[in-house]
Amino acid sequence: MKICVIGSGYVGLVAGTCFAESGNDVICVDVDEAKIEGLKKGVIPIYEPGLKELVLRNSEEGRLTFTTDLAAAVKASLINFIAVGTPPGEDGSADLKYVLDVARSIGRHMESFKVVVDKSTVPVGTADKVRAAMKEELDRRGVSLEFDVVSNPEFLKEGAAIDDFMKPDRVVIGTDNVRTAEIMKELYSPFMRKTNRLIVMDIRSAEMTKYAANAMLATKITFMNQIANLCERMGADVAAVREGIGSDSRIGYDFLFPGVGYGGSCFPKDVKALVKTAEECDYDFILLKAVEEANELQKRVLTDKIFRYFARENAGQPLAGKTIAVWGLSFKPRTDDMREAPSVVIVERLLELGARVAAHDPEAIKEAQKIFGDRVSYSHNQYEILKGADALAIVTEWSEYRNPDFDKIKSLLNRPLIFDGRNLYTPHRMRDAGVEYFPIGRNGKTMLEG
């Protein structure tokens, strides 16, 4: 099939590349000339495991091309994916400016039947706005051309996006048109060879499905963080509680790991957007408002622990002159994405309290430098930042941090002290290693003394 993907960011580039990998001819379009020139040379603007190899192979074999010429791409393609950003507005609602600009451009340049697919995460009712914007352009041109608008939300996890696309849990297609549904089924058939996980529904339900899925996952994470905070106050072990409730098939183990809050490009933005959508329908989404508030508070839990610990030595300015080493800056492992990352709140608060911060991350240092500049020192060696530091704070659960050399850690830190925002280790293991350990939801002090 001839496909055009407009927007070569995270979603657009992954989708376009995977469609090309399944044999389609794909044109990726973006207004950023530097990005397009880079992609033509094999420079991938994001970090995603396996993506670069697929981009290079499909580019070399001629199935994947990159351009800034939207008009030519639209004319050459049957299916036009809209995969541009929908940043949150000041009131939390999704900003559809870029989506509707693309819709108008398609209407301006199309010369035959087109299937226009909303791949961007958009509020319920966006397909109607896309359809209206396209029709307005066609009317202005004085032409009558058939087209259809489809909702096809993405469910990609950063760090595992290629597998998620090639072996999806489900593919949601929102359309009321039988012919369009068959076109989309054919497009996705290479990804459905073992079992058919393609679900066709009405457009508004498809648009709601994406928001509902992300809001549910954000709620599950936040619930477990709240349970962890309560466990810590009551002397319970959240790891044991997770095992106890996760074994219930109605609940499951996924997204029940406590930590320092969720972040990234999806959950925070989509929770805000769904709350705003509810308000526009005169509905007070109390639960999601609480989720949003609790998540922001959770980002302070680790710094609160650090502050209280050092306040025992200096009640006035406990962190003044202290150096805190931070392992992990990206909002999750296997990505360099720092959008809404808990690390941003944690590092900014440490700096605000007078601490010096030395940071390591396998992939996100360049992104961190854009945010913190030279207020933070960085190293590509996770042990180098420990030298002379007063404590280690673990913020992101990269694999590199799961089995470190604790003897080396102890020899480099001023004192053997770890604040673990991801519960990577057990209190028993830390006690044996001679490390003073403060995890989330496990009452580190009690465990150390026990």
- Residues belonging to the active site: 266
Please give the Cα distance from 158 to 11 (Å, whole number).
Answer: 10
Please give the Cα distance from 390 to 307 (Å, whole number).
Answer: 12
Q: Mapping DSSP to helix (H, G, I), strand (E, B) and coil, where does residue 235 land?
A: coil
Please name the residues in contact with 150: beta carbons below 8 A apart, sequence gap of 6 or more.
Answer: 115, 116, 117, 118, 127, 173, 174, 175, 180, 184, 203
What's the token pair of residue 415? 């004192």
Question: CB atoms < 10 A from the CB of 203, how many?
Answer: 22
Asked if 91 contacts 171 with a C-beta cutoff of 8 angstroms, the reply is no
Please give the Cα distance from 278 to 273 (Å, whole number).
Answer: 9
The upper half-sphere exposure of residue 426, i.e. CA atoms within 13 Å in the direction of its Cβ, equals 5
Asked if 277 contacts 211 with a C-beta cutoff of 8 angstroms, the reply is yes
What's the token pair of residue 241? 């509680």
Angle subtended by helix axes 286-298 and 203-234, to nearest 10: 50
Angle subtended by helix axes 267-280 and 286-298, to nearest 10: 150
- Name the amino acid, one letter, at 227: I
